[in-house]
Amino acid sequence: ADAHHTIFEEVTVFSQARNNDSVGLEFKLDIDFTYFIIEDEVGTLYEELATNYAPVVESRAKDAIKNTAANIPYDDFFQDREGVSNILEVAVRDRLIEPPSLHVSLGHFFVGRIQIPEEVAQKQLDVKIQIETNDAQEYKKEAQLERDYTEVEVNRILLQKEKELKIAESNADLVVQKGEAESKKIVQNAYYTGYADLMMMLNITEQKHKASYNYLTKIDSNKKKTLKVTYLDDTNVVKTDTQS
């Protein structure tokens, strides 16, 4: 039997829906295929459909293409054209042999141009732009959060450093104060020990004599001292001498 060549131009189809509440994206397909009348069934074909078989074949083929396209993800039409063509070919082949038989068999099948309507393309572009905008805003938010976190962390480190520095300074002051106190204690102990040894060496035991010694020692150590000494001379006359 002779091949019947059929061309569908701009068949409107919808891709697989993204969820149950929406339909897929609309676009248009160019389809090129051939079919053959089964030689042994030519008589039956003309008895049932006469010469009107072509519109019936084309109707079934379009129906198979539209229904099957609705189960194919949108991206596959552009990223896996050969796979999509095979799926649609099988669907058309099966549809043509469903009862009641059309007494034809599918020959070659080819998916040609795939067109996206301008409004759909614009919608896709708007969606991508919005996604990019959202990503940019999200990046800015993350960058700001990172800057804020870094600033907080820097402040925490500086405060910790300042705290540790103050603790170190306080500890250093405490060590110095303890050293000075210990030094004074040593000096005082040495003074008391030396003083006790001196009193023992001079045989000064009474407290009043010790007080007199301390008084005289203080006077002797004063460079600006002036002493007035009153005494009785050999002639029994009371005299007073001033010594510096």
- Rounded to the nearest angstrom, the gap between the alpha carbon of residue 79 and the centroid of all alpha carbons in its chain is 33
pLDDT number for residue 69 = 93
Per-residue tokens: 215: 């008084």
Give me the mean pLDDT over the 95-118 stretch: 89
Instruction: Give residue 228's pLDDT band: very low, low, confident or very high (50, 70, 90).
Output: low
Per-residue tokens: 143: 């960058």
Q: What is the CA radius of gyration of the chain?
A: 58
Q: Is the dihedral of CA 201, 195, 217, 186 positive or negative?
A: positive
Asked if residues 84 and 77 have their Cβ atoms less than 8 Å apart, the reply is: yes
236: left (phi over 0), alpha (psi -120 to 50) or beta: left
151-205 pLDDT, tens digit per residue, is: 888 788 877 888 887 887 878 777 788 888 788 888 888 888 888 888 888 888 8
20-43 pLDDT, tens digit per residue, is: 555 578 889 999 999 998 888 888
pLDDT number for residue 180 = 82
Euclidean distance between CA atoms 37 and 97, whole angstroms: 12
Task: Return the SS3 of 115.
Answer: strand
Residue bearing the bigger pLDDT, 236 or 13: 13
Per-residue tokens: 180: 């000075």
pTM across the whole model: 0.49
Residue 52 has pLDDT above 60, yes or no: yes
